[in-house]
Amino acid sequence: MQTRLEEILEKGQEKVPYGKTADYIPELGRRDPNHLGICVFTKDGKKYQAGDSQIRFTIQSISKVINLAAALEQRGFDYVFSKVGMEPSGEAFNSLVELDLTSSYPFNPMINSGAIAIASFLQPIMDFEEMLDFSRRLCMDPEITLDEAVCRSEMSHASRNRAIAYLLESKGIIENDVEKSLQLYIKLCSLSVTAESLANLGLILACGGINPVTGERLLKEDVVRVIKTIMFTCGMYDGSGTSAVYVGLPAKSGVGGGILSLADKKMGIGIYGPSLDQKGNSIAGQEMLRLLSKELKLHLFA
């Protein structure tokens, strides 16, 4: 497995020059586009890593998985899906179009409008410190902290997300303080993780919510089933269909360059590569995930 990961990393590196870092959040634009790392954590407790798997980067949209997990645990399925849909949007992650014209509520929890709506009803029941603690436990990573520089950078360039949040308020989806909801959403996007933390989270999801190392149950089984399904259909934004065909695994990406993935009942996978394609997905990360899935025959319909 170790040799295989190193070979996959080398092949992934060839794709790096075809992408670029996210510069709409200036602090992310300053990251080294050549960073690339992968970590695989298997159910029998073995961990394999190659490349920059220990470099910290911000979780960005992958926090939408944690956001959804907290919402389903705290408020339950019916409440969550009375506020947010479960359909792929086919639009960019920060689009307002479909929200305004075709739907009275966000398409799904994996795009910005859905996650901001969720943050708005989480915010009165779970504050940032509680969400930080929840994230640390799910990622088995006590070192996760708020990256203040990225958070400040996004806060001062949040016009689009602010527009989404006020549109949600105008439609009656956000009933709480809009600015506080936005702030919680952006802080959660600014948590610093590693490819290893994502592999840890992936393994917990692969194991139905149980930490296989300690035997502790962190999430309910039916909550995890919903999360994995929505990751599969919506986790790579408007690239989700392509990812389903080529990779065939639940996956969630973030513009920080991370990808969280898993092979059900087998392993968690974490990837870091901040050079992104036009849809905001790690360009080399997707290639590495495709190769890993192909070589280990992990595709859901292999």
Residues that bind ligand GLN (CB under 6 A): 60-61, 93-94, 112, 154, 161, 189, 254-255, 280
Nearer to ligand GLN, 49 or 282 (CB): 282
Catalytic residue among 80, 255, 261, 293: 255
| DSSP tag of 232 | H
Q: Answer yes or no: 61 catalytic.
A: yes
Catalytic residue among 237, 252, 282, 293: 237
**Smallest distance, Å, CB 96 to ligand GLN?**
12
**Smallest distance, Å, CB 45 to ligand GLN?**
30
Catalytic residue among 61, 113, 261, 275: 61
Pairing of strands 37-42, 57-58: unpaired
Nearer to ligand GLN, 52 or 154 (CB): 154
Q: Answer yes or no: 64 catalytic.
A: yes
Nearer to ligand GLN, 53 or 282 (CB): 282
Where do runs of H (alpha helix) occur along 91-238? 97-101, 112-122, 128-138, 148-155, 159-170, 178-189, 195-206, 221-234
CB 53 within 8 A of CB 37: yes
Side chain identity, residue 246: Y
Residues 6+ apart with CB under 8 A from 195: 37, 38, 39, 49, 52, 53, 54, 55, 258, 270, 271, 272
Catalytic residue among 120, 185, 243, 261: 185
Q: Answer yes or no: 255 catalytic.
A: yes
Q: Answer yes or no: 237 catalytic.
A: yes
Q: 228 burial class (0-12, 13-18, 19+ CB within 10 angstroms)?
A: buried
CB 76 within 8 A of CB 204: no
CA 234 from centre of chain: 11
**Smallest distance, Å, CB 259 to ligand GLN?**
11
List, in sequence order, every residue forming a beta bridge with 42; answer none if it has no partner.
267
CB 208 within 8 A of CB 218: no
Nearer to ligand GLN, 62 or 138 (CB): 62
**Smallest distance, Å, CB 59 to ligand GLN?**
8
**Smallest distance, Å, CB 1 to ligand GLN?**
29
Phi, psi of 199 (to 5 degrees): -65, -40
Nearer to ligand GLN, 186 or 263 (CB): 186
Q: Answer yes or no: 40 catalytic.
A: no
Closest CB to ligand GLN: residue number: 61
Q: Catalogue the active-site residues.
A: 61, 64, 185, 237, 255
